[in-house]
Structure 1
Amino acid sequence: MQRFILGGVTAFVMLSIGLFWWQGRAEVERAAPPPQVAIEAPSPQEVPSADLSDIAGPDLPEATEQTREQRRFGRYDRDRDGRITRNEMLSTRVDGFRKLDRDGNNLLTFEEWAVATATKFDGADANQDQWLSAAEFRKTAPPPVKAKPRPKCVCKS
């Protein structure tokens, strides 16, 4: 007896779902956009023309000579308001932080820091004796910033 009741309830639910789906589909079709009407392209005679000989734009900006400190300040001052906020100051550290934050939760745990430090130590310890000599320790230094090579002088004698 329970099977018949359960079967009847299931059939009623399926019919209700089908009815709502059918009504929803009819509503979408009723509100469909009108068919596209072909728009005629303008003829070449209707296209406006302009005389460009007397047009003058703004002058080019002049480059100013900045000191090294002014350029450094400009790199940090993202919104160019003449002030550096805490977020602007920390923005340069984001890439380094993301490398250490392995699980991506924006929290750097001691374990995440320790793994990065231990990996760096293991990479520098070439002979695996669990201590770094002066030569091995030199491998842990950040790479030096390479200066751009100066072009060779082409002198005419």
Structure 2
Amino acid sequence: MNRMVLGDVLALLMVGIGLFWWQGRAQVEEGAPPPEPATVQPPDDELPEADVTGLRGPALPEVTELSREQKRFFRYDRNRDLKITRSEMLSSRTAAFRKLDRDGNNLLTFEEWAVTTVDKFEGADGDGNRELSPDEFATTAPKRRAKPACRC
């Protein structure tokens, strides 16, 4: 028992000595003189001058116009790693899926898909001959949304 108490007292004594040594080092570093200034500062009322004749800045980066396919690719590539994962590909389709899923059970039956497709076909078939001409088919193209003039 005496050995344990003696060991504890010695451990506390060592910690105290270390603490005093550490504090002493900190005070010596605080009292050290500041480093010499490397350059002489001009007075505050004078502006520095430089001779820039004959110097030219770096060339501006070229802006490349993205092709239509590249724009379509980047609509799916959400994290811009130049790879489209399955979840990235499917993420843009959830709204369209929810429109087709009439009963809301997250299962798209053939009937649900067929009703929407038939409605779209019958809406485009203007003359009712059960065939779509090129002009009629053009009416089935997705409507482009107008872009806002500014994002104020």
Q: State TM-score, norm by structure 1.
A: 0.40
Q: State TM-score, norm by structure 2.
A: 0.41
Bigger Rg over Cα: 2
